[in-house]
Amino acid sequence: MRLDIVTIFPDYFAPLQLSLIGKAISDGLLDVRVHDLRDWTHDRHRTVDDTPYGGGAGMVMKPEPWGEALDELLASYRASEADADSQSLPAARPILIVPSPAGHLFSQSMAAEFAVAQTLAFACGRYEGIDRRVVEWASGSFDVREVSLGDYVLNGGEVAALAMIEAIVRLIPGVIGNPESLLEESHSVGSQGLLEYPVYTKPALWRGLRVPDVLLSGHHGRVEQWRRERSRMITEDRRPDLLQ
Ligand code: 6GU
């Protein structure tokens, strides 16, 4: 997968070099390119924002640098398509994810959908947002998806993009050593919409607290039943909305 990120804070994405995602990059499963939006400004101050038409607090990101950045992404996609095998299928419209607290709620199923894309681009704006015409214009060439992490406010799209990238990249085939571990997680299809059961490891007695006996019994069927019950109890308590 090719992953392009446009941001005014490229340093936010340094952690992508770590751990699982860093391994995916060095294994050649993932090609990450972080771009500084200010590279597409032309004034001495490298200005990316301006006051909102109609008034109000805060600043709005100017459309021109975004337009040029997205033009360059499209040109670069076309160049790599031309390089590719001429027998290959025409590429799908590239996906452009725009993190926004006003977006559709991000979910595990969205992560799974994005994980099979050939190319993904993230446009990270600040909270007050990007001039609306950028998304309008970009929709002519990209499959634009405005996506929110949840009902709280971050300062910009960078941290949201990092969270989404981690959720997406771990689903790319070959990124996780043991794909079976994906099946039982909270919010995955295999978990049947329930939250994950509690887990324990050695020692069996720690600071006076025992691991539940059933997990030491070696009785596979009873272990499964206990885990299902606990999943249901935890889901009922913390996320009753998931039981609908
Ligand atoms: Cl995607 N962006 C921002 N700025 N705030 C958020 C968010 C995204 N999701 C939840 N809060």
pLDDT at 190: 57
CB within 8 A of 47, min separation 6: which ones? 41, 62
Ligand 1 mean position to 87 CA, how many Å? Answer: 40
Structure tokens at 77: 């996609």
pLDDT at 85: 61
pTM for this one? 0.93
**Distance separating alpha carbons of residues 72 and 63, to the nearest angstrom:** 14
Q: What is the per-residue pLDDT for 27?
A: 94
Return d(Cα 64, Cα 68) in angstroms, integer: 6
Is the CB of 152 within 6 Å of ligand 1? yes
The pLDDT assigned to 189 comes to 57
Burial of 152 by CB count in 10 Å (0-12 exposed, 13-18 middle, 19+ buried)? exposed
Question: DSSP letters along the chain, please?
Answer: -EEEEEES-GGGGGGGGSHHHHHHHHTTS-EEEEEEGGGG--STT---EEPPTT--SS-EE-HHHHHHHHHHHHHHHHHHHHHS-TTSPPPPPPEEEEEEEEEEEP-HHHHHHHHT-SEEEEE--BTT-B-HHHHHHHTTTSEEEEEE-SSS--SBHHHHHHHHHHHHHTTSTTSSS-THHHHTSTTSGGGTTPPPPP---S-SEETTEEPPHHHHS--HHHHHHHHHHHHHHHHHHH-GGGG-
Q: pLDDT at position 188, please?
A: 66
pLDDT of amino acid 127: 66
156 lines ligand 1 (CB under 6 A): yes
User: For residue 90, what pLDDT is reported?
Assistant: 74
Q: Is the CB of residue 153 below 6 angstroms from any atom belonging to ligand 1? A: yes
Smallest Cα–Cα separation from 100: which of 153, 165, 140, 31? 153
Give residue-wise pLDDT tens across range 117-145. Answer: 999 999 999 868 999 999 999 999 999 99
Residue 217 CA, ligand 1 centroid: distance in Å: 45
Q: Provide block-wise average pLDDT over 10 residues at a time, the chain (244 residues).
A: 98 93 94 98 98 96 98 96 74 94 97 97 92 98 98 96 97 84 71 92 98 98 98 98 92
Ligand 1 centroid, distance to 154 Cα (angstroms): 5
- Ligand 1 pocket check for 157: Cβ under 6 Å: yes
* Cβ 100 under 6 angstroms from ligand 1: yes
**99 within ligand 1 shell (Cβ under 6 A):** yes
The answer to whether the CB of 61 falls within 8 A of the CB of 131 is yes
